[in-house]
Every structure is written in C-alpha cells, then in structure tokens.
Structure 1
C-alpha cells in the first residue's frame, strides 16, 4: 500500500505529499477532517482554502468572530461542526498553548472530536498507529476480508481488520493510502479490481462479490416535518433576520424567523402584519427528516421595532452568509418579490 501511495497519492490542499520530508500541520489536518464529515472532497477543497487563507493558524481561528466563521461555513451543512470548530480552536489555544495534543486519547477530549477524527489527526498529523475508519476504508476492509454482515453492525469487525493491518512505520500514509484506494479504485460502484494493488489478497474479488460489498441494512424512511418561514422587507430593502438558538439545527446561524417544525405546526409570525401567502414551499432535507416550509412575506413599516431579530440593511446583507435552507427561502422570496 505504501509503495502504491508513493506513486499514486491524490494531491489535496491539506495533505503533505509522500516523500516530501515536510511535517504535516495538525491544524490543517484537523480542519480538513472536520469539514470532510458528511461532505465530499470536491466540495470541501474550496471551503478549506478560504478558511485557511483567512485564518491560517488555530490561534487566528480562535480569535475569530462567531458570525464570521458561521458565514464562511454556510453551504457546508451540519452546522454543529462549525460551532465545535470554534470551541475546539479556543480550547487548543487556552488549554494547550496553541498546539494540538498528539495522542488519540488526548484529542478525544477536545470539543467536536470523535473517534474517527481523533484517529485521523493522531495518525496523519503525528504518525501514531491509530486505525482510521472512514467510509472508504470500511469499504476496502469489507471487500478485502469478504465481510458480508451489513453496516453499521459490521463496523467493529471492519475496525479490527484495519487495526491488524496498520503498520508501525508510516501509519498516517497507510491510512491515507487506504482512503485514496477507496476513493479512486475500490469505489462504491464498479470497483477497478484489475488495477488494485490488493487484488491478489482480496477475498471478495476471489468470490466475485466485491461490487456487492459492503452490504447495508435497509434505510429507515425519513419523516417529513412542516413549518412556516417569514420574510419581511422594509421599503429600503432591509430584511428581518435573527440568530437561531445555539442548540438545535442551524444553531447560531443567521436565519429568517420560522415557526416550529412539526407534523402540525402553528403559525408564529415575528410580528403582526398582513402576511401574504406566496404559494411557495421551501424544501430541504436534513439527516433525519425532510422539511417543507410555507413561505410568508410582508412589507414591514420603516419604524417597526421587532420583538424577534433585527432588520439588516440591504448593503450589509450577504445571501452567502445564510445556511442553505435560508438561502433557498431568500432565493424563492426574491423570485416572488421581483419576477423580473
């Protein structure tokens, strides 16, 4: 695997090329791993480069304004990651002198770092022999050892196989080699077994079942929740926005006011007004449910002092600072507000 990795490693903005002699930057490895959770490499690249250009060190990030970080994160989803990113950076600076701990156990004590991220940072940044288990490596292990038990129940077995294979020499490169193998050759569909460096050792290939693994337990049907989203504009173009509570979905993000999200929500406008039914529905899917928000609009008086949120002047408003759900609401309201 290491020989194959030396010749075929992907070029990624957070990665130190094999054989370069450079030391990996724990900050950049940690940042990339947090961003890559539930997100593709293609999507993460641009976000990673913007974040590290704006906040090149963990101390820079720790000193950043929450709203600025959340704004840069908009579009990456799973916003609890962004909140934990800031919490973790501040703990590293305040409690660890600005240096990430170098062991898996110590990394696990930091906010937002779970078993996968701790193993990845310990392995890749500090060359510790911690087995890293992402989706690519799980797939490689399932095929290499022909593990037919479905995920997620088979995770402990797959990790046990990966642990036995993790070498004492260059464990970080070994982990990245397996990630690259899964991303480029041992792909979910139509794996390129004929050019795989593990071809001769792969039990699933020998049995002709590589493309069928890993098996997965049937997915549960996602429920649908309903609600209302309220877009209020003043005559000068200012929009009513509020910061959502820290806990919960879209926590700490800038958003249009909404009702509760439930099976039978009640209207909950941010102020009394003639809220127009636009006939538009904002649709979005979260990890565990689908969401459909009925869009309501109104033009607010210039002298209104709202009980919820505040009016953001048009010149200061950046649609890119909104989470994806709210950007959808904004785009749909713009279409309804100005058909031209």
Structure 2
C-alpha cells in the first residue's frame, strides 16, 4: 500500500513527467525530466554554499562537478566528503536534477558533498559513466579535484571519502568501490546506495511483483539498460555489481530500497552477499515508497525517514566518528 503522501507525489509527478517516457528519444526524455526535477527542487537550504569546477578526465574530456558545503557554522571543521553519483538510468540527470538530494545531505550531515556530472548514454555507452566516476574518485582520494579553498574554512574538500548514489548512480558507486578493492586502492570509508540498480536484470521477486510499479516499471529498467549496456552481452564485467565473483573487502555499505520498485530486491541480494562474505552491510526498505521518492522529501514522512537513514550512515562513517 502506498503512503498517502507518496500517492499525492505520484499524482503530481505524472502530470509533469508522464509514464512510459522510456519510449521517447533521449533528448525528449531529458527535456521532460529536467522540467520535472526543477519543479521539485526548492532553494538551497540555509547555510549551504556551492562551488562549481571542471575536472579533466584521463581520456581528455571534461567532467563538471559541484561542491556543496554547510557554511552555517563558520570555523567548524569539515569532517569528510561524499562523492554523489546521480540517478537517471545512465540517460538522464545532471548537477541540477539532483540538487534537492545533494544539498540536503550536505545540510543535514555537515559533510562536503560533491556531485558528479558523468557522461550519459546512448551517446556514451558503457563503460563511459563508470570510467568517469572512477577517474573522479581516484582524483578525490589523491586530493586532485580542482576546487579552490572556501573563504570560511580555508580548505578544499578532503578525505575521508565516502561514495553514494541513487538508482543508476548506485550502480556507479558500488562498481567503483568494487573496482578500487580489486585494484587494492584504499580510502573509501562508506558506501550508501539509494534504491539501487545493481544488475542488468532486476532480482526476484520484485522484478515480477513490482513490474508495473509507479514511477519506474520493468520496461523502463530494460530500456535504460539497453541504452547504456546494449541489448546483447558481453558487458564490461566490472560495471555490474551483482555479477561480481566476490563481495568481501568492501567498505561498510548501506542499501536503502523502497517497497514499490522492480529494483527493490537488488538491494537485498547485494547486502546478503556482502554480509555472507564477512562484510558490514545494512539493508533498509521503505514501506509505501516508490523509486525516486526523495523528490517528495518536503512532504513524505517515508522519504524523510529514508533521508535520515542515509544521513545517519554517512555521519557514522565520517572522520568525526572514526
């Protein structure tokens, strides 16, 4: 059963971003998605300041970044940084589309949050988005991101570093964490996955029971998958977290899923495998919620609970707590 506030959110959302838009061209989808996201994006929270920068990837192209910092208490020490990879099925999304999420995480954790504007499909198929997020993460770990010191704090973003993302962005966060583990690169202190997509086919039973869920259907998942990975394997192995051969050696991991989502059981299976391998995984499932529900943060008690869960996890694994 849907939370009442979530039902109202869905009704408003479908007037701005009608169902079955995965059948439209990527350009048409992006135009509608950007208008939809803007309608749910409030002004920046009090005390949040931003700085934009451009990072040059190893391949030579430019990746836009945006840093959010809580400036509400001048002189206080920033406790760490979160790299955030936005959702949108690898086809949609931008620095602006997920500002509601990134700004609120910065406001409510006191951590720096850096949003990453990775390349999108189908113009840039797999593993383009993964490569961009890996490049940015390695630069962050090495203190090479191109942000200038803020006047208030007199310091650029710094470690410890955590990774976070929603939907397709959670694929990117999990993949990068697993790639760094395989390459024996240390320094990721936490991994927060929000209604994550972690494979090329959703896990059962939600794959079938929620195939026609509001906000994201199984058909939508398949369409976005095909735009990014293509319709036929083989796919770049490191880009699909649930296809990994091992799940040990990962940082503490939160997977926050929602009830009415064909991707719901991706989170459950991933955390089960992490814990079975001796890791520290936590599964949270929001009853009555739908995919993309953080856009209802101002009205939905369930979305607020999800946000609190993510913020508590990120604070617990910041330098303040270690």
TM-score of the two chains, using structure 2 as the length reference? 0.28
- Computing the radius of gyration from Cα coordinates, the structure with the larger value is 1
Relative contact order: is structure 1 or structure 2 higher (C-alpha 8 Å, sep ≥ 6)? 2
TM-score of the two chains, using structure 1 as the length reference? 0.27
Judging by fraction of residues, say which structure has more strand.
Answer: 2
